[in-house]
Amino acid sequence: MESINGESEKNFPELRNQMEAQDANYCRSNNVPMTDDECRAKFTKELEDNLMTVGIVALIVTFGLFAVILLTFRIIRQLKSDDEEVWLRARCLPDLP
């Protein structure tokens, strides 16, 4: 994380210019330009919020896939026991005319 923070600190003027190119009022509060520290804090908060959203979606997908795997194993186990039961009945019971 330190290398990421160090790189963002070195390149902050470029990041700020890119954000302001997308939204001219990005680093402004009540039409007053923000200081670099204020703009950096706003940028960091938005980034953390976006990462939190991605993390929550990834967690939901992970739990969904885990449930699918568990259900698949249960179905396989059920089908396997049904096949063994059919095989045992066919082998043990005499053929009826």
Q: Is residue 57 part of a domain?
A: yes
Taking each helix axis from N to C end, the angle separating 36-92 and 12-22, rounded to the nearest 10 degrees, works out to 80
What is the count of structural domains for the chain? 1
Q: Which domain holds residue 82?
A: 2-92
Q: Is 53 domain-assigned?
A: yes
Tens of each residue's pLDDT in the chain, 97 residues: 466 667 777 888 888 888 888 888 888 888 888 888 898 888 888 888 999 999 999 999 999 999 999 999 999 888 887 777 776 676 666 555 5
Please indicate, yes or no, if residue 34 is contained in any of the structural domains.
yes
Show Cβ contacts of residue 31 under 8 Å, excluding neighbours closer than 6 positions.
25
Q: Which residues contact 42 (CB under 8 A, 6 or more apart)?
A: 26, 27, 34
> Is 8 within the bounds of a domain?
yes
Please report whether residue 97 resides in a domain.
Answer: no
pLDDT computed for residue 80 by the predictor: 82
pLDDT tens profile 13-23: 888 888 888 88
Q: If you ran DSSP here, which 8-state letter would residue 95 be given? A: P
Q: pTM for the full model? A: 0.57
**Sign, CA torsion 28/31/33/35:** negative
Contact 42, 27 (CB under 8 A): yes
